[in-house]
Chains A and B, each alone.
Chain A
Amino acid sequence: GAGVSQSPRYKVAKRGQDVALRCDPISGHVSLFWYQQALGQGPEFLTYFQNEAQLDKSGLPSDRFFAERPEGSVSTLKIQRTQQEDSAVYLCASSGGTGNLNTGELFFGEGSRLTVL
């Protein structure tokens, strides 16, 4: 498709389960970002990839969160042993530039809504 695609759109997990969220960025986009958006809040930065390299993971809340982009295209955000506080919308964004906000507009996907029971 023409935009950033995320799947699943909705995921319900029992506390303690592992989940994997997928992001298909716009074809050819070098930079990929994950943001977490809690209900009623603005998105918060999680991590940033340039091609396959994860250049910043400072926003990942704990070591239960792991992101990868092995071939520099599709990315997966994995959350192990989910907790109720992990419930949020996880947004993926991509940019054609090398992450430079001054040169490339960020395009966001529609997000994956995770509910942990």
Chain B
Amino acid sequence: GESVGLHLPTLSVQEGDNSIINCAYSNSASDYFIWYKQESGKGPQFIIDIRSNMDKRQGQRVTVLLNKTVKHLSLQIAATQPGDSAVYFCAENSGGSNYKLTFGKGTLLTVNP
């Protein structure tokens, strides 16, 4: 079935809680990072991005934090809603590429009503 080969990290939260999704990136030369949301049967959808000259960026209900020292990226979602349930991917511009993205494995977020 669908679960065969599916080894995504998972995060389960209650509606209204804050969610934090983490990502470790691989290439220290990467200087642009994006978080994508992917719902079942759909393509990735842009959420928020951040450049390497910043360590924090806020959007509507979302915040991205970047720690270049340890090559770590996180996505914080405030007041999580059932519609936020999806797989979340971080992506980096591969080694500083201006067009190629390298995606992480993804985290499955489940929001319980």
B45 touches A101 (CB 8 A): no
Cβ contact within 8 Å between B43 and A110? yes
Residues of B within 8 A of A (CB): 2, 4-8, 32, 34, 41-46, 51, 89, 91, 93-94, 97-106
Closest to B102 in A: A45
CB–CB A101/B101 < 8 A: yes
In the bound complex, residues from chain A placing their C-beta under 8 Å from that of B41 are: 110
The A-B contact count (CB < 8 A) is 66
Contact A111 B98 (CB under 8 A): no
Chain A residue nearest to B92 (CB atoms) is: A101
Is residue A65 contacting chain B, with contact meaning CB distance below 8 A?
no
Task: Give bound CA distance, A101 to B30, whole Å.
Answer: 12
Q: Is the CB of B99 within 8 A of A100?
A: yes
Given A40-B6, A42-B89, A42-B104, decide whether A91 and B99 contact each other with a Cβ distance below 8 A.
Answer: no
> Residue of B at shortest CB range from A91?
B43
Complex: A44 Cα to B46 Cα, angstroms: 16
CB nearest neighbor in A for B105: A42
Q: How far apart are B107's CB and chain A's nearest CB, in angstroms?
A: 10
Q: Which residues of A contact B100 (CB under 8 A)?
A: 45, 48, 56
Establish whether residues A40 and B5, one from each chain, have CB atoms under 8 Å apart when the complex forms. yes
| Extra pairs beyond A40-B5, A42-B91, A45-B100 (15, CB < 8 Å) | A31-B99, A39-B4, A45-B94, A48-B100, A56-B99, A91-B43, A99-B98, A100-B99, A101-B98, A101-B101, A102-B32, A102-B51, A110-B41, A110-B43, A111-B42
23 A-B pairs in the complex with CB atoms less than 8 angstroms apart = A39-B5, A40-B6, A40-B106, A41-B105, A41-B106, A42-B89, A42-B91, A42-B104, A43-B103, A45-B101, A56-B100, A91-B44, A101-B32, A101-B98, A101-B101, A102-B32, A108-B44, A108-B45, A109-B43, A110-B41, A110-B42, A110-B43, A111-B43
Determine the distance from Cα of A40 to Cα of B10 in the docked complex, in whole angstroms: 12
A43's closest neighbor in chain B, by CB? B103
Q: Closest residue of chain A to B104, judged by CB?
A: A42
- Identify B106's interface contact among A42, A108, A109, CB under 8 A: A42
Chain B's closest residue to A89 (CB) is: B43
